[in-house]
Structure 1
Amino acid sequence: MAPIIFELAVWQSILLCLLFAVIYVGSLYVWLNSVTKNRDHPETIKQRFMSVGLISVIVPPLLWLFGTTSSSEKAHSIFEWLGIRFSGVLAAFILPLLLTMILFTGPLALHYMDGVFRLYLEPKYWTTSFQNLIWIRNHIAAPFSEEFIFRACMLPVLVPTVGPGWAVFLCPLFFGVAHFHHMIERVVQGQHEVADALKQSVFQLFYTTVFGAYSAFLFLRTGHLMAPVIAHAFCNHMGFPAFNEIMGFQQSVRHRIIACFVVGLVSWWFLLYPLTSPYLYGNTVYEL
């Protein structure tokens, strides 16, 4: 990657992305009970659904008005910039999910050993899930709204000014820092001491930034919003890998599970570029 030359256009794009992040996070706290009530309270969840829905309508016009486009992007519509198009959409639903599942081979092996897989075969599990506001938030609303604002609306701003390589690493910083607002909720609601809340928030900053880079990579390689949305929903479902659970199994089983973690990571690395080839998705909007 070439070094970034911090010209006016670069600062403008960074400030515009910062504005998008502030608007998104700020919309969660416009309600009178936004801090005092737990984030999992049904009323809070419904209010935040309305907030992020409204922000998802407001931000694209700001992108259109103030975003700096490259010569290649000018040949495409704003919907194509945002990764909303029909060409390659089926591949965008399937291949990024498959790739992410390969990365999670180890955690999936833990789910199999724990018997969690049997739940997925129960129709009641799915009917109950789609009636649960927390599940809907974690698997539908949050993945879509966050990927839409932090990837689909920010990358078209960053790519023309800093290039796709730097954009992959800069974009997640807005996403990671935006999650720091959870620290305020934990402290105000008395769930954690300040030091514990800070530790959790720093850890969350780390892994959300790492995931954000992967998500930005998927968006630019596929040119589809659904690619990072699907990967995001799956990662939210799986959560951070429970490495400590491995030690609870017998040695022979433990070795097999560890092997699954290693095989999954290595396989993901080798399949990362082939399964995200722009050719598979008809991506002519972005180049990475």
Structure 2
Amino acid sequence: MDSAVKPASGRRGVAAFFDLDKTVIARSSALAFTRPFYSGGLINRRSVIKSAYAQLLFTLTGADEDQVEKLRAHVTDMCRGWPVDQINAIVDETLHDIVEPLVFAEATELIANHQARGHDVVLISASGMEMVAPIGEMLGVDAVRASKMAVVDGRYSGELEFYCYGEAKAQAMREVADEAGYDLAECYAYSDSITDLPMLAAVGHPAAVNPDRGLRKAATANGWPILAWDRPVGLSDRLTPSPRTLAVSAAAGAGVAAIGAVFYYGWLRKRLPAHNRL
């Protein structure tokens, strides 16, 4: 998928930038594939438990700067040495089963609405491109920007070439706008986290989606719309009334159905010896 697209007309175009985790999808995409990675022999049970626990904390406490940094460190450390080809194959094989159930219906409806108005849609996330790009394809978005892991001899080194987070995410948006000819003053942006304040401040039409406490306060102070989304719905439950909407809804949720952290964490604890538990 191209990182940016050119507007159809000669005038400067309009884009809608969507954060991914807890905005388009209900949970963390970075941890969504923990179970298939375990099945593929890439991680052990202890790593699965840590990922489930990290998912739980992310869901309950939100994505403040400290939590995001802990999540980043966990994911990059976990991925060190993994073969890139194997990861791409696992994501490709399990994407629909993993991501369908918990995509916000309101998100796919809004994406379809923007595209019906002639706006491009850009998915922009701190999660890895290996997961975000396929999700973007499922959603039918026009462009994707995401973090990129460094690769050495076909394996992840554990280092990041680009971390699409905070001010860097806003800078990525400005680069996309320059490439595609978007007028950021006319563009839209949606996110749930105070860590995306630079992203929201970069456009003329920002909105907070299920905001954490910090973002709610900022949105209220700035008079930004606050949206409440609570309808994660599977693909089979959605209607696709038009070919354009089909490209979006056919991804019934092009969002990520991350591990059900609470239940999976409890399930694993019951099956591990006491000395291996957290």
Which TM-score band (shorter chain)?
under 0.3
Greater per-residue strand proportion? 2
Query: With structure 1 as the length reference, what TM-score do the two structures score?
Result: 0.26
State the TM-score, normalizing by the size of structure 2: 0.27
